[in-house]
Structures are given as structure tokens and as C-alpha cells.
Amino acid sequence: MPGLSYEEIIAEPQSLVSDTELYGTLQKVFGFREFRPDQERIIRAILEKKDVFAVMPTGGGKSLCYQLPAVLLPGTCMVISPLISLMKDQVDSARSNGIHAAYLNSSLSAEEQSLVLNDLLSNSLDLLYAAPERFTLNHFQEMLGQVNISMVVIDEAHCISEWGHDFRPDYLSLSSLVTLFPAVPVTAFTATATHKVQQDILDKLKLRSPFIVRASFDRTNLFYDIRFKENISKQLVTLLKNNPNKAGIIYRTSRKSVNETATMLQAKGFRALPYHAGLNEDERKKNQEAFIRDEADVIVATIAFGMGIDKSNIRFVIHADLPKSIENYYQETGRAGRDGEPAQCIMLFSQSDIPKVRFFIDTIVDETERTRALTALQKVISFASTTVCRRKTLLDYFGETYPHDKCNSCDICLGTREVVDCTVEAQMLLSAIARTEERFGATHIVDIVIGSKNKKIYDFGHDRLKTWGVGKDRSKKFWRLLIDELLAQKVIAKSEGLYPALYFLEKAVPVLKNEAKVEMVRIQEKKTAKRKRIEETGTYDNDLFELLRALRKQLADEQGIPPYIVFSDRSLRDMAALLPRSPEDMLSVSGVGEVKLQRYGKQFLDLIRRYCEEHPEQTKQP
């Protein structure tokens, strides 16, 4: 409908896609029988030509929200994404489902770019991925004016907000999209956005009466576990031994620690590789490819790794150092279990990590940025120290209320960490804070209760306080953790500035009066404590699953694509459970559409038939 405004387009009665066509495309192209939460609402809004803003957690299936309309709508869907390393995987994945997709970025040669542009101008593409930097080029915008654009998608939309955790100035140019494409829907997706960031995105993009979806941030398949960091090498080795042949990411803060950890794990026989900005581009690419293609089980990385990873079968993410913020933690842990299968998110937390992070924060010149980074760090420390359900705490940060008392999928709720009553010890700290008129920081308060004889204590006469030395039977580590717990429980707070002082909040007086108690997790974990083992759901033949994995790897290598693009782990587990014997049976497997059935069905069916013949008792169907 050329020449019509956006308002006129959406005001006209729309020829809506029928349920039969919508669900038929979902099954035929993507191999799914039903939508995940919020997907159908978003897709129907797009098909009605409405602008959309959606906050959906990693693993929530946001790519299907625009890929399915891209198949149904005439023209090309343009996806603006900052993740050059991810574009190829997304295009390979779309093509594996029979979707006409391509990408334009600096990794392509001039000849390859020319071929893509020819396809674009001939309107033969369903999907085109491009970076925001390319969108800023005038000649590219002029070219788009010659193309039938069906919709525009802004991926990682939080990058436009200066309040977001990954602000990118190039994204600011995207505010002109609604002007450049007045008659097509403009949609924006992000996995992490607080309400403040969400409003900032909406203000900057100027979306037209957008359909807004704020999906739940609850990743029900993820298990959150925070452990005290003691002997990190030993702990990592144990964790990897408990997850044999499973894909995982270990995050470290510095390049040095990445290299040391990767070398240590290799020496222990693990298929582990490093990834950080200090490696040359070829080595980074080689290591990332090895991980994506299941040739390495573990990547040890700085936060430089992960944004461009679409690997669906990551079974664990370990933070061996403190993440920079709750947003970073949520996004990084979100790389586990994208296939919806159970996965572990483990953080190793030590008080000694805090000064290391503070050192980097103190080098930030801009005072506003430094204050923001300090606030973000404190929230991470509070999250690591709290005795409240991890899931409840995470959801609360993003403005979502968890409706249950326990999630039964975090260390707190499962009782794998012993909670002890520390009310008396908390009263000692609070008394020290009160007797020093709320003018001193955590280090000095701890020095008072342990009876330190340093010069500052004597200079202020604090050796004469009644609380001096009352906690000398406990370690400094205990008292620092208890202060973190009091901060997390909002019993006390910390003032701003270079020398932050501790001061009382409303909850402090009831604790001092013995009218409220303070609980804290036990500092030393019991070595005999049994943790809940996260198992994949359903009953399936593990031997057959491993054979299917091997076939998947072989086919992926032949085509030069990651194994999970052939089939996800969930699809293979379905096959190993359902034992499909015919093409019709295979279509009932999650993630198997008609294109994938035609492309790979025979090889997988032949393998399953042979296995069933060789193991008749083991694979007998009811």
C-alpha cells in the first residue's frame, strides 16, 4: 500500500493470517506444534502491522517472533543486530528451515556482498541481517528505498539506552527508522531491560503506539547456585567432572586468569579453550568455532565472549569471578539452556574478589559512570550474599514479583547451603556502628569487633568501646560477609563517596532490640552436603542419544555449520525417547519441520532403525 501513512495502514481492516496458516507454518517450517509464552501475541501484532517492543529473556524464542512473520509477509524483513559473529549462525539456522536469509557485514568479501545486494534488490530475501553501522550509511538507506521491506527488527535494543549495560552510540541513529519506513512495523527486542531502560528505549525509538510485551524473566530450566570460592582450580575440576562431555562457559575477569584456567584444565584432560580480546583474531575465531562445533566442551572467557553465541546446548555457565552487574549476570547465565533443557548457573563468590573489581571501577574517570558501576557491584554482592531465593531476588531486580515462596531450583531453596542465626553477631556490628555515630566504613567496624590494635583504632579511642573485641573469636571473613548480609537485607546501608560509611536503616533498631532476627548462610559448606543433580527431563536411551549426536556432528561438519543447527539436543533426546520409525513419526519430534525432514530425516531414521534392530529388548515400544 505505497503512499499510505503508518496510521492509515493500521487503521484499515487487516487481512489477518488464519490460525491454520499460522500454526501450519510453525509446524512445517520450524517443526513446533505450539508457541512459547508471548510468541503468538507478538507475531499476531506484527501481522497486524503494529509496532512492537518486547522484553524477552534469552531462550524465550524471540527470533521466531520475527522469522515466522518474515515467512508469511511479502517482502524482506530487515534485522539490525550488533552481533556480527552471530549473524552467520542465525542465517545458517534460518536457511536450515528453508527460509531465504542473508547477512551483510564486514566479514564478507566485496563479491559476496554484491551477491547479497543483488538478492535484496530482486526481492528474493525473506530476511536480511545488517549491523547498525551499515544502516547509518546514506547509500544503504537509499538502496532500501528500492526494496519491498516487510518489517524492521532491532535486536539487542537495550544498546540504544545509556542506562543499559551495553550502550552503543551507533544505535542512536535507529531513532529515524519510523520516519524512513512510515508504512511498515518497526519492532524492538531485548533480553535484559529494567523498567527505566525500557522507557528510555521507547522514548528514543519513538515507536508508534507500540504493542508492548514484557515477558517473564523467569528461566525455569536454570538452576542458580552460589558457592564460596576457596580452591578455585579444585572446584572447577570437580564441577567439570560432574558434567562430563557437556558444553559450558567459565567466565573470568582478566585475560591472565583466563589463560591460567584454560591451561590448568587442559593439563587435567579437559577439552577447554581460552577466549579474550588479547588473543589474535584468528585464534579467537578458531576457538569459538571449535566450541560451537562441539570440538571443545568448555570455553574459558572474559565477558568478550558470549554476545555472538547462539549455541543452544550449553549445559552450564560458571562465574569464577564476580560479574559486573546483575544485568551482565542475567545475560551471561542466560546463555545456558537456550534449548529449554535443564542447565546450571554457578557463581564462585569470595570477599577477596571485591577489591579487584573496585580497582577497575576506581580507574573510571567519569564520576557518574563510576558511581553507576559501584552501585551495580553492590547489587551483585547483595545477590551473592543473600539468604533469599535467588530466582525471587533476580526477578525483583527486573521489577517482577515471583509468586511462590520457594523456586526449588536454587541453592537457597534446596537447602544446599546451611542457614544459621546470626542475630547476636549482627547486634555486635550494629552496636559498633551506633557507638561510632555511623561515621565509619565496614573495614573499621570489623576492626572494632575483632579487637584490632591498629593505629586508627587507638587514635579514635575505639579500643575503649564496649564492643571492642567482642567478636574476636570470629574471623574477619565472617564479619565482612555478615556486613554484606546486613546490606543485602536492608538492615544497614552504605553512604556514597570515596570513604563510604555504614548507617542504620529502619530494620536496624528491631534487630538491636531483639525483635527481629538475622540469618546468614554458613560460611564453610559441608563437604558432605548433597546438591540436587540436574538431569535432563524425560526418559530416553542415552546410548542412542550419543549415536545421534555423532551423526549430527558428521552431517554438520560436511556442511560447515554448527551441530545444533542440524538438530538441537532436545530434538535428539525426543528421537531417543520416541524412536520414530517413519517420516510421519519424525515430524512429531520437537524441532523437525518439513525442510529438515527432507534434508536429514533418512539418515536419522536409518540409524534409529538399525539401533532398534540391534537392541530389540531395550527399544521395545509399548
* Average confidence (pLDDT) over 395-416: 88
- Does 531 have pLDDT greater than 50? no
User: pLDDT band at residue 311, thresholds of 50, 70 and 90?
Assistant: confident
* Average confidence (pLDDT) over 248-259: 94
Output the pLDDT for position 425.
Answer: 95
Q: What percent of the chain has pLDDT over 90?
A: 58
H-helix or E-strand containing 41? Answer: helix 39-47
Phi-psi region of 437 (alpha: psi -120 to 50; beta: other; left: phi over 0): left
* Average confidence (pLDDT) over 395-404: 90
- Does 346 have pLDDT greater than 90? yes
Across the beta sheet with 127-130, the strand order is 101-104, 127-130, 76-80, 149-154, 186-190, 52-55, 211-214
Output the pLDDT for position 540.
Answer: 85
Triad 25, 29, 34: Cα angle to 5°: 60
- The 10s digit of each residue's pLDDT in 442-458 is 999 999 999 999 999 99
User: pLDDT band at residue 533, thresholds of 50, 70 and 90?
Assistant: very low
Output the pLDDT for position 1.
Answer: 42
Mode of pairing for the β-strands spanning 314-319 and 247-251: parallel
Say which amino acid occupies 235: Q
H-helix or E-strand containing 72? Answer: helix 62-72
Pairwise pLDDT comparison (531 vs 385), residue with the higher score: 385
Say which amino acid occupies 372: R
Residue located via cell numbers 560458571: 318
**Nearest one of 28, 20, 74 to 47, comparing CA atoms:** 74
Cα distance between residue 414 and residue 172, in whole Å: 45
User: pLDDT band at residue 306, thresholds of 50, 70 and 90?
Assistant: low
Say which amino acid occupies 570: R
Coil, helix or strand for 334? Answer: coil
Within 77-193, residue ranges assigned H as helices are 84-96, 110-121, 132-135, 138-144, 177-180
- The 10s digit of each residue's pLDDT in 573-621 is 999 999 999 999 999 999 999 999 999 999 999 999 999 999 887 666 5
Displacement of CA 54 from its chain's centroid (Å): 16
**Nearest one of 370, 333, 583, 351 to 496, comparing CA atoms:** 370
Cα distance between residue 390 and residue 388, in whole Å: 6
**Cell (9 digits) for 488:** 543485602
Query: Across the chain, what does the average pLDDT equal?
Result: 88
Output the pLDDT for position 495.
Answer: 87
Domains of the chain, start order: 6-214 (3.40.50.300), 222-397 (3.40.50.300), 419-521 (1.10.10.10), 542-614 (1.10.150.80)
Mode of pairing for the β-strands spanning 419-421 and 519-521: antiparallel
H-helix or E-strand containing 314? Answer: strand 314-319
Contacts of 611-617 spanning 24+ positions with Cβ under 8 A? 611/541, 611/543, 611/544, 611/547, 612/579, 612/581, 615/543
- The 10s digit of each residue's pLDDT in 416-434 is 666 688 999 999 999 999 9
User: pLDDT band at residue 136, thresholds of 50, 70 and 90?
Assistant: confident
Output the pLDDT for position 538.
Answer: 53
* Phi/psi at 621 (5° precision): -90, 145
